Structure 1
Amino acid sequence: MGDYMVCAKDLRIIWARDRRYWRWVKDTDDSDVAELLNVCWLKVSGKIEKPNLSPGTQYEVVLVAKMKTRAYGWDAPVNFKFSRPGGMDDWTINLENEFKDSKDQWKDIKLGEFTASENPGDIEFWLYKFGGKWKSGLVIKGVAVRPKS
């Protein structure tokens, strides 16, 4: 009943195989991370099938990422949508503010929280921004679902 991590390689990232837009690099722990080079159409999504969560426990969903020093295009909020048994939430998050004092450092960006219900079901999430400014400099390690501390 612990943590679930959807690594970057297991996320669905639009344009991820196109080297003009994304670059895959090895992190210091040898994991593959996705570095955003340049997109104006951002869509990252993932799914955890029927996770074994403890009913009644508060969980949080976090994006494990970092923002490069020379990142740009993040002054407008991006959208986050999160579906779990018993509901769906969506809101916006300003990633530029989240990384303001911690460029080039891995950070857990809290995307949302929920209480696990008795009936397990899939958890799905989407981080997206269609159109608008070109964006660069976000490096994604993955998305974690874990008990809230």
Structure 2
Amino acid sequence: MADSQMVNARGLNITRSDDRRYWRWVKEPENSGDYFEAAELLNVCWLQVSGKFENPKLSQGTHEVVLVAKMKTRAYGWDAPVNFKLTHADTTNHGTINLEDMFKDSKDQWKDIKLGEFNASTNQGNIEFWLYKFGGKWKSGLVIKGVAVRPKS
């Protein structure tokens, strides 16, 4: 059983991530000296990021799903909350998060933004997740490393 798993940015479904007017792919350094690829939001008013963990092998107990991201110093358009949804077996978590508040004192630093939690049992099934905001202000400056599922600490 794995303690945690991650879907990196390339493995996510990011609306318009293939259009360089809206997103760009950047190399970011790891602590090990290696690099990983992250998706940097340049400018959108329609934000939609989704993905899933297919039949993850998780230890029993409470797990959380987190967006691993950072907000650039010059980010804008995040004063309104964005929506999230997480489904797993019979569980659905949904709500809103204010990313501007989450990164208020930590611009340009990677953070884990909790999208929800669930109780893992032996019959687990897929975990699906969405982060979205349709319409409203244009947004820029979010950098996404990926989405992780891990035991709740």
The answer to whether TM tops 0.5 is yes
How big is the shift at 1:71? 0.3
SS of corresponding position for 2:107 = coil
Structure 1 gap ranges (5+): none
Residue 57 (structure 2) pairs with residue 52 (structure 1): yes
Match of 1:4 in 2: 5
- Counterpart residue type for residue 52 of structure 1: K
How big is the shift at 1:28? 0.9
In structure 1, C-alpha distance between the alignment counterparts of 2:73 and 2:112, rounded to whole Å? 17
How big is the shift at 1:94? 0.4
In structure 2, C-alpha distance between the alignment counterparts of 1:114 and 1:83, rounded to whole Å? 9
Match of 1:18 in 2: 19
In structure 2, C-alpha distance between the alignment counterparts of 1:142 and 1:51, rounded to whole Å? 16
In structure 1, C-alpha distance between the alignment counterparts of 2:114 and 2:86, rounded to whole Å? 12
- Counterpart residue type for residue 117 of structure 1: S
Q: Which 4+ stretches in 1 moved above 3 angstroms? A: none
In structure 2, C-alpha distance between the alignment counterparts of 1:47 and 1:111, rounded to whole Å? 13
How big is the shift at 1:118? 2.9
RMSD: 0.8
Equivalent in 129, 135, 141 of residue 145 of structure 2: 141
How big is the shift at 1:117? 2.5
Residue 47 (structure 2) pairs with residue 36 (structure 1): no
In structure 1, C-alpha distance between the alignment counterparts of 2:85 and 2:124, rounded to whole Å? 19
Give the fraction of aligned pairs with identical amino acids, expressed as a percent.
Answer: 71
Structure 2 gap ranges (5+): none
In structure 2, C-alpha distance between the alignment counterparts of 1:90 and 1:117, rounded to whole Å? 21
1:85/1:117 contact within 8 Å kept: no
SS of corresponding position for 1:120 = coil
How big is the shift at 1:112? 1.3
Match of 2:71 in 1: 67
